[in-house]
Structure 1
């Protein structure tokens, strides 16, 4: 199938081909993301108005929408210019008023002739104890009652676009929805009691009560599943295409691994052992590994990564580990060196700083296999960097490295297995949305000996007290981070600037004790400031959030976060994870400015209650929603029209296993269900997926 199937053409025509949509309204529709009839099908009503006829307004819940048959009484013209005209009406039990602003007198008389019966429907409110309906939505003769739907769907709007226009266009789009062969697994559809596709669309656009616009309504669940399933089929195809890329079986002997394990002062956790087994099994297979290693702060990802790299070396190959910044690359090197010494292998670092003869020496050693493991920034994948036999590439901190970059690395003809590490616990539904093309290993327990971090909330009014405690802690030889919200004073946000805080703390604690690092510094300056803190020459590091990812200073045991209420949950959790890495008892002080908003208070309370990053991430998702949680723009997170990742995470998991099973049974999507799924991919505009099938 080379292009979009003809059966879908009517849905992808211009919006103006629908009755009642002209060039002007098409522009307005575009503002709510509707550019073709297809988009209207997936723009579902978010509420429903009950317009069933009732005999009287008595007993109605006000303010609210009512539909009543009335006898029209006296018309009272406006008392003053621009004031309202009133029309008295009487229903079966009581008298009340209709109110109109700027109405032409004869229009009102024609619409509502005194003494006649009319059906009026609109929002009724109480003003000074009198029931009033301003500008009814509908005024009908009793014989026209059947024209008014008992339940009216409410669609998202934009200025200039009214409900009636959207309702009419949606009905026209629905009339075009073709009958399509079902792409959902029949057993799943039967188990869930879901309707067919066209039936689900009609039901979702014609809600009969509030339950019908809830995410749990069967028609909506079915349509949400279609979206998630199309997305997961695309991810599964990407996964198959990476695996189809030439892979190599890398089987370690275990000799180097056992040397390192024997040298460790502790035993790996069950989670570490399990993750390593999953990774080495993937490496031993002939297909390419594409796995995500997801672990909370301090769950021991580095050890698992290193043991995996050793398997590559044991098999006679090399490994590479890529970090997002130079400082993190150098830190990985520091943490891997002692392990490499225990194994008796060579580890080197390569960053943009390496130039000239020094760089040439490293590149030559790499090409002949003299360097077993190379750590570095994305400079590792430049053209002139040639490995003798790269078997495993590890990428740290996924967020800066999306599906496109992963496919690009694969396209470099690297037959290497790929392992991505992230320290950000992500709720399962999001990790499936974001990393559906990967297999996931989770480290969900802390290695023994990591002490919990005591977390306290302190009002900014007690700043002097906090500085006093800090002075005492420094006297005992401890080290501290002090995190500030912003770098430069901004008139708009009165947050203490890092430079001011640095000066104040230096004055209070002494010259040479306090260091400063922030985002505006040149990388070399930043690294130098960090290195002074790591070496213990400065004892307090004042910083903006540049330290949240990966920095490892086991001697630092105090973390002060200023204006903690301005940070997100995940960020606070990451920051707190910078302490509690050494032998000392660690403390995290969250300084907040009262009064706290309800949401901020809840965030800070959750952090006091738990150090479980996965629980924190679930809470964060519930509080903020998926787009905010990982910044949709840079996350590669898809925008779904119907599916709701927060509330329908279980559906996403079903969609993933279903998509993977489908491709295992029918890799070319050639069977009857495969053909239906191809139509779904075109319908959901997953063109990349269709290209991937083409590649196959």
Structure 2
């Protein structure tokens, strides 16, 4: 059985899959709206769930109001006074049931006076809705959000997350145009399940969340979260079924190359490494294509496992390629591979943006002829001009740095190519089931022998001079250090510690031995700083999270992270993993801001007290909630926008089981049962319709 492609448009959902520009009255706001909702389709707007609701009917008189309430009250306009000085506001004075009410407007534009005169004509009656503050016998209302007759003020107002240049009224107008388009959508949910869970139908759930008459309970969002999880599991199931029947070839080796390389390595693999190598060997030997995830915590030895797999492919008479997200990481792999594979007489070449001229031509010819069996590269590997004689295995390192299409492009350069993807991001078991269910998974949970634990300490910023003295002593020993901050420049957040400012200050102290690396630099400038640090021409590297992965400097023994409480725990753990890569004792110093709250203290204590990436990942998941670690939101359930890991974790397994049963009954998801819509409509709604072929790339 091979999975059929999912249509990009279905009759009952054409309008929901249409671009936001098709909604009336949006105009130039469509781009802002797409940015806010995380997608450019009407269905993306409908999935943009309000973060809260404002009840504008709860307080209808100042007699009922408390200080700080949102009130919807009738008023009679008395007067408008202009500012006496530039620091004073315009003030609208009015009365409501005998109470004096003032509304200040701190606006300076020329249009303010005429606009206020039109909005608040003297002697007119208006209904205002806004937050009120009590000041003795008077009330003050913040500039009201609604100024109108009562029937134009929504009794319950949804408040959506916004972006700059987009207002809640813009979203509300678009939502009002989008909701009627749900009328053509059928119901695929199992009636028994909906009744047991007291869940509404799909379209009713969206209406209850986006245009409620009363503040909704948790059932509508639970229903949609389940649909999202089920859509993901169905897509995964289709990919898995296609992979199981997809033709492949057996890659068998005699260990002649691997034994020599392992001898050059000089250590026995850990038990976890040996187990992972055996699992990969079995996949390579099987007559179907391998799609396996190698997940290992920082420093767990993924590179050795990958090399053993690549040498097995070479022993079988094919070629192997490993793709890294940066040239720094690619060159790091090249050094390791050249030492170990070179001992076995296997040539390893580099193909990256900096490889030009005769050397580039030589590498391209060698790959095409097969004389170069192993290649390490960056995005340059999947360019159209790159051809292989017989590419048997592709390894993708730090796979989340590449798009699915990029991974597919590289795998497509061979016939029946096996694929191994690697990640150092610790993934909780729930997320493994959710995001990686279509892959076989090998996990490395041990650290290689000889690696010393990293000493992690929480150090107040008042002890900065002690930290600087520690750096001086470390530099005198020949060690190197990282100094990591969140922001590139001041102004991203008013109290952010900025890389540019920190670099300038530390350059004053340590002179020319300080380098700077951040994402806003030109690539060649950033790469030059990283190379200087790796080569020892610099002893201190001031950086943002660009050093989170792919930087291997064994001489670096100190990691300093300012405002550590503002990083996710997983990011802190990855940053800490940049040290402790040599024989010397290494340290990670967390320098948080002052006045941490209890939650921030607990999170940093977790990092201080454990190096177990899986414990840290679980804690980070619980703290940071839902998100998309493969997209713009770097937290929570990977690839999810509605499901929350804390609340909806139990639904993952249920969705997994339901998808498995559904695919057993209906492999192509094209049947209906008792009048229900086919569940395949879930796939385009939740973004799994680009093509099943892309999902094969992982």
Task: Please tell me the TM-score bracket, short chain as reference.
Answer: 0.7 to 0.9
Please state if 1:445 is matched with 2:441. Answer: no
In structure 1, the residue corresponding to 2:311 is in which secondary structure?
helix
Instruction: State the secondary structure of the residue aligned to 1:483.
Output: strand
Quote how far apart the aligned CAs of 1:480 are.
1.8
**Residue among 62, 83, 99 paired with 2:93:** 83
Equivalent residues in 2 for 1:10-29 (5 A)?
A: 23-24=24-25
2:395 is matched with 394
Partner of 1:586: 586
Q: Hey, what does 2:515 align to over in structure 1?
A: 516
- The answer to whether the aligner puts 1:161 opposite 2:169 as a matched pair is yes
Determine which structure has more spread, i.e. the larger CA radius of gyration: 1
Whether 1:197 aligns to 2:202 is: yes
Select the residue among 136, 139, 144 that pairs with 1:128: 136
Q: Could you give the per-residue CA deviations for residues 340-377 of structure 1, whole angstroms, max 9, x where no partner exists?
A: 36656444434444455555555555555454432233
Question: Contact between 1:498 and 1:544, CA under 8 Å: does it hold in 2?
Answer: no
Alpha-carbon contact 2:382-2:406 (below 8 Å) kept = no
Partner secondary structure for residue 297 of structure 1: coil
Q: What is the Cα deviation at residue 187 of structure 1? A: 7.8
User: What secondary structure is seen at the aligned counterpart in 2 of 1:320?
Assistant: strand
Structure 2: distance between partners of 1:107 and 1:424: 61
Q: Does 1:333 align with 2:334?
A: yes
What is the CA distance between 1:676 and its match in structure 2?
Answer: 0.2
Distance 1:67 1:491 in 2: 37
Residue in 2 that maps onto 1:680: 682
Q: CA deviation at 1:479?
A: 0.9
8 A Cα contact 1:487 1:499, kept in partner: no
- The 2-side partners of 1:489 and 1:153 are apart by 37
Q: Secondary structure at the residue paired with 1:552?
A: coil
Equivalent pair of 2:576/2:588 in contact (CA under 8 Å):
yes
Taking the aligned partners of 1:223 and 1:291, their CA distance within structure 2 comes to 30
CA distance in 2, matches of 1:500, 1:67: 53
Alignment of 1:146-225 (within 5 A): 152=156, 154=158, 156=160, 159=167, 161=169, 172=180, 176-178=183-185, 180-182=186-188, 184=189, 192=197, 194-198=199-203, 200-201=205-206, 204=209, 212-213=216-217, 217-225=218-226
Moved more, 580-589 or 668-677: 668-677
Q: Does 1:544 align with 2:537?
A: no
CA pair 630-57 structure 1, distance change in 2 beyond 3 A: same
Task: Show the 5 A alignment for 1:490-639.
Answer: 495=498, 497=501, 500=504, 503-506=507-510, 514=513, 516=515, 518=517, 538=537, 540-545=539-544, 546-561=546-561, 564=564, 569-591=569-591, 594=594, 604-624=604-624, 627=627, 632=632
- The number of equivalent residue pairs is 646
Equivalent-residue separation in structure 2 for 1:40 and 1:385 (angstroms): 41
> The residue matched to 1:408 in structure 2 has which SS?
helix
Distance 1:669 1:544 in 2: 49
Measure, in 2, the Cα distance between the counterparts of 1:528 and 1:11: 48
Q: Is 1:478–1:557's contact at 8 Å kept on the other side of the alignment? A: no
Distance (whole Å) between structure 2 residues aligned to residue 12 and residue 518 of structure 1: 41
Cα deviation, 1:159-205, whole Å, max 9, x if unaligned, reads: 4839997897687556x255x252x4678667755444355456556
Equivalent residue number for residue 481 of structure 1: 481
Q: 1:27 to 1:641 in 2, by over 3 A?
A: farther
Residues 51, 263 of structure 1: CA spacing in aligned structure 2 closer, same or farther, 3 A cutoff?
A: same
Alpha-carbon distance, 1:464 to partner: 3.6
CA contact (8 A) 1:234 1:688 kept: no
1:28, 1:161 within 8 Å by CA — same for their partners in 2? Answer: no
1: CA distance, partners of 2:192 / 2:268? 45
Alpha-carbon spacing, 1:568–1:669, altered in 2? closer, same or farther (3 Å):
closer
Length-normalised TM-score, structure 2: 0.72
Give the superposition deviation at 1:453.
0.9
Question: Shift of the alpha carbon at 1:688?
Answer: 1.9
Q: Distance in 2 between matches of 1:14 and 1:386?
A: 38
Corresponding position of 1:289: 290
| Deviation readout 1:660-690 (Å, 9 max, x if unpaired) | 6645664433443697023333555654248
